[in-house]
Amino acid sequence: MKRKILILAVIGFAAGLVMGNLIAFFTKNSEAPIVTQVLIERTGGLTAAMIVQTVLSGVYGAAAMSGVIFYDIEEWSLLRAVLSHYSLIMLGFIPFGLVLGWIRPEHFLTDYGAVFIGQTIAFLIIFFIMCARCRAEVKELNRLIEKKDKENNSGKSC
């Protein structure tokens, strides 16, 4: 399980780097290519801002991706795992968004509202894809069980 979390965290870190730069590109309010002016001012320069953004985006991605492990906790219902993972992603975004300048405190409701809607839509799409995949796996398992039962029943009638 620890190995799986580590692998997920590494994948999430890489995904966080990409997504962080995309988010910054669309929320930038400076002449810098992919960093917000707020972050440049907070860090004292473009280079420092890029480093901070890169590291924090990766950390957020690693945390979000590691949350997939919630689905492997057998004692948890699917609803509990989904809500836990969703909460981790949504609540985790607030501090990162505020520090990186993606969410402006004076426009918190509109900025976070847009993020909330976007991430909720993305999360629902992924959730329904996962449900469809699980449903297909269950159908395949049921088909194999029926096949095995038929084989066992046909062997007993002789």
- Give domain limits for the chain: 2-156
Average pLDDT on 11-35 reads 78
CA distance 98 to 86: 19
CA distance 33 to 35: 6
- pLDDT the model gives residue 40: 87
Pull the structure tokens for residue 21.
């730069």
- pLDDT the model gives residue 154: 78
Instruction: Name the residue among 57, 55, 63 with its Cα closest to residue 23.
Output: 57
Which tens digits make up the pLDDT trace of 75-133?
998 889 888 999 999 998 889 888 888 888 888 888 888 888 988 998 888 788 878 88
Which tens digits make up the pLDDT trace of 134-145?
899 999 999 999
- pLDDT the model gives residue 153: 83
Give the number of other CB atoms < 10 A from CB of residue 102.
Answer: 23
List CB contacts of 146: < 8 A, sequence separation 6 or more.
none
Give the number of other CB atoms < 10 A from CB of residue 7.
Answer: 12
User: Looking at the predicted structure, is the pLDDT value of residue 20 above 90?
Assistant: no
Q: Sorting pLDDT into bands at 50, 70 and 90, what band is 147? A: very high
